[in-house]
């Protein structure tokens, strides 16, 4: 992690590099920020669960309340749900929460 990569940045990047969306989101991830216009446009053609992941990442970054908590258990598959939980641990700065994927992907 460089000095510009805050826990919030790491959490959002962790979501946007989820296996199902990484190829489409990767080009819009900067070293310290995200191209939200491009990411949200890209999300328009994603599946419902993939779109929720992008919206969760956006909400973590911008705190605009665009995702309802109900969407997490109802719209995300098991892997994506786990990824979001890992991202929340990252956002709190908690790399020792027992999330092996977080520690592996945070570097």
What's the pLDDT tens digit per position in 75-90?
A: 999 999 999 999 999 9
pTM of the model: 0.84
The packing angle between helices 7-16 and 48-62, to 10°, is: 170
Count structural domains, the chain: 1
**Structural domain includes residue 67:** yes
**Structural domain includes residue 83:** yes
**Structural domain includes residue 99:** yes
- Confidence (pLDDT) at 107: 40
- Confidence (pLDDT) at 101: 53
Mean of the per-residue pLDDT values for the chain? 87
- Contact between 29 and 1 under an 8 Å Cβ cutoff? The reply is no
Compute the half-sphere exposure of residue 33: CA atoms within 13 Å on the CB side of its CA. Answer: 5
- Which domain covers residue 95, as residue numbers? 7-106
**Structural domain includes residue 2:** no
- Cα separations in angstroms, 72 against 37, 77, 83, 92, 99: 23, 9, 11, 18, 18
């Amino acid at each position: 992690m460089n000095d510009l990569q805050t826990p919030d940045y790491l959490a959002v990047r962790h979501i946007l590099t989820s296996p199902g969306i990484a190829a489409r989101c990767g080009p819009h991830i900067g070293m310290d920020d995200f191209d939200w216009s491009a990411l949200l446009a890209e999300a328009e053609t994603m599946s419902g669960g993939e779109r929720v992941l992008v919206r969760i990442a956006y909400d973590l970054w911008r705190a605009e309340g665009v995702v309802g908590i109900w969407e997490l258990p109802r719209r995300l598959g098991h892997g994506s749900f786990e990824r979001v939980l890992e991202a929340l641990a990252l956002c709190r700065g908690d790399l020792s929460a027992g999330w092996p994927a977080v520690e592996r992907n945070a570097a």
